[in-house]
Amino acid sequence: MRWKGGRSGGGVEDRRGMSGGAIAAGGGGIAIIVAIAAYFLGIDPNVASGIANQITGGGAQQREGTFGTPGDEEGLFVDKIGANINDVWTATYGDSYSPPAAVVIYEGGTGTACGQGQAAMGPFYCPGDRKVYLDLSFWRELDNLGAGNTEAARAYVLAHEFGHHMQVLNGRSQQVQQAQRSLGQEDGNRYSVALELQADCYAGVWAVNAPKVSDNQVAFEAGDLEAGLRAANAIGDDTLQKRSSGRVVPEAFTHGSSAQRMEWLQRGFQTGDPAVCDGTFAGL
């Protein structure tokens, strides 16, 4: 993947090295995988904030970190990819788009408006403070999940979380929450799946448009779409369920099957048109 020539300024808030890990991240591989099955690329915001609130009893306060472009390569990657994602959506939507309040890089645990964030939750977006949360140790987890710790996989994860930010701006997130209030668990889950697949689709739309807003300095190169698809395949609900319990329960899907996640990432990439991503809600 090409990214080093991209512009900086992706809105990183660096909380690494700060205390705030009130809840230690679980150490066991199985515990982490189960947590990731529930949370990974998180986010039905309702569920996420609900569970987090059970843990902490409400939004957790956290001292702000350092805003600016990190000096290390991993932090720089997040900053430059974030800047490029913002540029793509600004080019598409103009003033209707505004960047997330921050992309918070943290270690172990940190306070969010949605409750205590933990590394074991995987990357997530909190609508309450409009920030993306990311513990960079998750990149190593990508390998454990069979997703492949590639730059393209990392970029896909980031763009997916920015997709959830888009859904707050365009009202999809609120529509889903509204619909889920009057639905049972199974039907509610279908809305979560539609929301998650739409975020995957947005990630594909971002990836194919990245070079256009960066003078070709940020771009998927040969093999990168495949790497992204491999990651999408590895984090499908059916694949994660098989890993954690050995069986597949489609009614409990919240993010979509591996096949669906790959399909929508690819569809976004092939069309480059975010309107196409509304298709995940067809039939609901």
Q: What's the burial of 177, exposed, middle or buried (CB within 10 Å: 0-12/13-18/19+)?
A: middle
Work out how close the CB of 177 gets to Zn ion at its nearest, in angstroms, rounded to a whole number: 14
x/- letters, 154..173, toward Zn ion (CB under 5 A): --------------------
Pick between residue 70 and residue 202 the one whose CB is nearest to Zn ion.
202
Pick between residue 43 and residue 159 the one whose CB is nearest to Zn ion.
43
Q: Which residue is nearest to Zn ion (CB)?
A: 41
Part of the chain binding Zn ion (CB under 5 A), chosen from 90-98, 137-145, 171-179, 198-206: 198-206
Pick between residue 147 and residue 219 the one whose CB is nearest to Zn ion.
147
Work out how close the CB of 199 gets to Zn ion at its nearest, in angstroms, rounded to a whole number: 5
Query: 125 - beta bridge partners?
Result: 132
Work out how close the CB of 215 gets to Zn ion at its nearest, in angstroms, rounded to a whole number: 30
| By CB under 5 A, residue 136 contacts Zn ion | no
Pick between residue 36 and residue 136 the one whose CB is nearest to Zn ion.
36
Pick between residue 43 and residue 153 the one whose CB is nearest to Zn ion.
43
Pick between residue 36 and residue 199 the one whose CB is nearest to Zn ion.
199
Q: What's the burial of 148, exposed, middle or buried (CB within 10 Å: 0-12/13-18/19+)?
A: middle
Helices and strands per DSSP (H, E), number in the chain:
10, 7
Pick between residue 43 and residue 81 the one whose CB is nearest to Zn ion.
43
Which of 214, 213, 215, 229 minimizes the C-alpha distance to 269?
229
Work out how close the CB of 28 gets to Zn ion at its nearest, in angstroms, rounded to a whole number: 24
Which residue of 1, 23, 43, 235 would you call a contact of Zn ion, by CB under 5 A?
43
The 10 Å Cβ neighbour count of residue 216 is 12
| Alpha carbons 213 and 226: distance in angstroms, whole number | 22
Find the farthest-apart pair of alpha carbons in the chain and give their distance in angstroms, rounded.
Answer: 48
Question: Residues 129, 113: contact at Cβ < 8 Å?
Answer: yes
| Alpha carbons 133 and 117: distance in angstroms, whole number | 8
Task: Give the HSE-up count for residue 158: Cα atoms under 13 Å, Cβ half-sphere.
Answer: 31
Which residue of 12, 37, 38, 41 would you call a contact of Zn ion, by CB under 5 A?
41
Part of the chain binding Zn ion (CB under 5 A), chosen from 4-12, 92-100, 173-181, 197-205: 197-205
Part of the chain binding Zn ion (CB under 5 A), chosen from 168-176, 189-197, 205-213, 260-268: 189-197
Inter-helix orientation angle 258-271/224-234, to 10°? 150
Question: Residues 215, 172: contact at Cβ < 8 Å?
Answer: no
Q: Which residues bind Zn ion (CB under 5 A)?
A: 41, 43, 196, 199
